[in-house]
Amino acid sequence: MQPSPPHTADRRSGSATQERLRKLNLLSLLPPLAVVGILLLAVGSKTWWHAVVLSVALLAAMIVVVQWASGKVFSVALPCVLVTAAVWPVGALLMNVTTAFYSFNIAASLVIPELRRHRGLLAVGQVGYVAAVGVVRVFTGQGEGSHALIGFVVFPTGATALVAALMFVSKRFYDLVTELDLARGREAELAVMRERMRFASDLHDIQGHTLHVVKLKITLAEKLLHRDLDRVAQELREVHTLVGDTITQTKELAHAQRRLNLATELENAKNLFEAAGIHVRIVRAAEADPRVGELLGQVLRETTTNILRHAQARQVHIVLAESSISIVNDGAQDAPLPQLRGLSTLGQRLADNGGELKVEQNSGRFRTAAGFPQVRADAVPAMSSAGADRR
């Protein structure tokens, strides 16, 4: 079974969050709304048929509440709203019940904010309908005066407008929560994607570096096969050791235990350059700060691989300081500075941790320099080694 597309998963996550919120509202709203409705029914009913009419309207309103909480309000919206709307003029004009608008207020206030279009216009119509029925009741009444105006117009209209406004605010709250939940889901997906890219890049770094060195050593062994069997045996032993180390590093990577050691990288770089017939000079001006050693080691490994793959170098000069490293090689092509995808990735990583990376090409010499101008305890966090794309 294929996984759902990200946007489908986002919608499902947002819908699930909104559904949980509505169920919570169901538990908190349904009991008090039902209790208030029953009390109003008991107070307003003067005969049995009054009780029947008001009970039908209250039942319709409670059905809307339940369906709204389950996200299926439109399946009962039209009949329930029509029933409750019809009870208000019956209650006001025939039954003389000022609270007969209660059920219509609940049903319409829950349904209208869920509509996709004309919600504002319908909300105004909801308030206007309640007010209009009240006005008709005031003009058709006899000798009631201000009591009828307050009981059938002012109070019902004000209560309807207030509840309708609160439900629009509630709908906006649901939308914001849903958007936040979707954003959180997308952020989680991005984090997973970044981790997958980091793992793939690191694996590429381990395997690609090893395979290139193995190819170099086997080529050297072939050249020495008929001249120096001892050297051939040594190269093959080193290939065996290198492959074993790579298997170990791959296992460590799979268990998130791999850490790159700058001193080991310096020794590996020296051995690789010498095996390729490249003279290498290493100057240790100072021991590297442990907080930046791993990042500097990544730069050294990336640069070493690039020199072996792309340059016709005869000399390499490496200078290591407390918070910086510089690698200069000759044999660079006389051409514009190439696109350095791997070093660009490392440059961004260094920049994120307070460092900087510079590359220069001039007169057949290529210089890669990385440094941290200000090494602070909180500026360079411990990092897992992550490989970079090759240029």
**What is the full DSSP assignment across 29-98?**
HHHHHHHHHHHHHHHH--SHHHHHHHHHHHHHHHHHHHHHHTT-GGGTHHHHHHHHHHHHHIIIIIS--T
Residue 174: its pLDDT value, please?
A: 76
Q: What percent of the chain has pLDDT over 70?
A: 80
Strand order in the sheet with 315-320: 279-284, 315-320, 324-329, 365-371, 356-362
CA 29 to CA 99: how far, in whole Å? 19
Name the pairing type of β-strands 279-284 and 356-362.
Answer: unpaired
Residue 9: its pLDDT value, please?
A: 45
pLDDT, greater one: 131 or 185: 131
Instruction: Identify whether the C-beta of residue 153 lies closer than 8 Å to the C-beta of residue 131.
Output: yes
Q: Of 273-282, 319-328, 329-338, where does the model show the most confidence? A: 319-328
Distant-in-sequence, close-in-space partners of 103: CB < 8 Å, separation ≥ 6: 37, 54, 57, 58, 60, 61, 84, 87
Instruction: Identify whether the C-beta of residue 339 lies closer than 8 Å to the C-beta of residue 361.
Output: no
Banded pLDDT at 131 (limits 50, 70, 90): very high
- CA dist 314 to 108, 215, 217, 308, 329, Å? 84, 19, 17, 11, 8
Q: Is the model's pLDDT at 237 over the cut of 80?
A: yes
Residue 7: its pLDDT value, please?
A: 46
Residue 254: its pLDDT value, please?
A: 62
Q: Is the model's pLDDT at 389 over the cut of 50?
A: no
Q: Which amino acid is at 355?
A: G
Instruction: Identify whether the C-beta of residue 356 lies closer than 8 Å to the C-beta of residue 373.
Output: yes
Residue 222: its pLDDT value, please?
A: 85
Q: Is the model's pLDDT at 388 over the cut of 60?
A: no
Average pLDDT of the chain, as a whole number = 79
- Name 282's bridge partners: 318
Question: Which of 231-245, 248-262, 273-287, 376-390 shows the lowest mean pLDDT across its residues?
Answer: 376-390
- CA dist 299 to 138, 248, 259, 294, Å? 86, 22, 14, 9
Banded pLDDT at 385 (limits 50, 70, 90): very low
The sign of the torsion formed by the CA atoms of 26, 31, 32, 38 equals: positive
pLDDT, greater one: 193 or 317: 317
pLDDT, greater one: 309 or 53: 53
Question: What are the phi and psi torsion angles at 314 (to 5°)?
Answer: -115, -20
Banded pLDDT at 249 (limits 50, 70, 90): confident
Mean pLDDT for the stretch of residues 343-367: 84
Q: Is the model's pLDDT at 321 over the cut of 80?
A: yes
Residue with tokens 């000022």: 98
Q: What are the structural domains, with CATH classification, of the chain? A: 6-188 (no CATH), 260-391 (3.30.565.10)
pLDDT, greater one: 198 or 241: 241
Q: Is the model's pLDDT at 83 over the cut of 70?
A: yes
The predicted model scores a pTM of: 0.49
CA 254 to CA 244: how far, in whole Å? 15
> 150: which DSSP letter?
I
Helices 102-111, 6-44: inter-axial angle, 10-degree rounding:
170
Residue 162: its pLDDT value, please?
A: 92
Q: Is the model's pLDDT at 319 over the cut of 70?
A: yes
pLDDT, greater one: 212 or 130: 130
Q: Is the model's pLDDT at 137 over the cut of 80?
A: yes
Q: Is the model's pLDDT at 328 over the cut of 90?
A: yes
Residue 252: its pLDDT value, please?
A: 64
Residue 195: its pLDDT value, please?
A: 57
Q: Is the model's pLDDT at 101 over the cut of 80?
A: yes
pLDDT, greater one: 14 or 51: 51
Q: Which of 37, 124, 137, 35 is nearest to 92 (CA)?
A: 137
> 113: which DSSP letter?
G
The token pair that represents 6 in the structure block: 């990200």
Q: Is the model's pLDDT at 155 over the cut of 50?
A: yes
Distant-in-sequence, close-in-space partners of 17: CB < 8 Å, separation ≥ 6: 177, 178, 181
Question: Which of 183-192, 320-329, 344-353 shows the lowest mean pLDDT across its residues?
Answer: 183-192
Q: Is the model's pLDDT at 384 over the cut of 80?
A: no
Mean pLDDT for the stretch of residues 227-250: 82
Q: Terminal CA-to-CA distance of the chain, rounded, Å?
A: 38
b vs e for 127-162, b when ≥16 Cβ sit within 10 Å of the residue's Cβ? bebbbebbeebbeebeeeeeebbbbbbeebbebbbe
Residue 52: its pLDDT value, please?
A: 92
The token pair that represents 86 in the structure block: 């019809």
Q: Which of 300, 292, 265, 268 is nearest to 388 (CA)?
A: 300
Three-state DSSP at 330 gives coil
Three-state DSSP at 284 gives strand
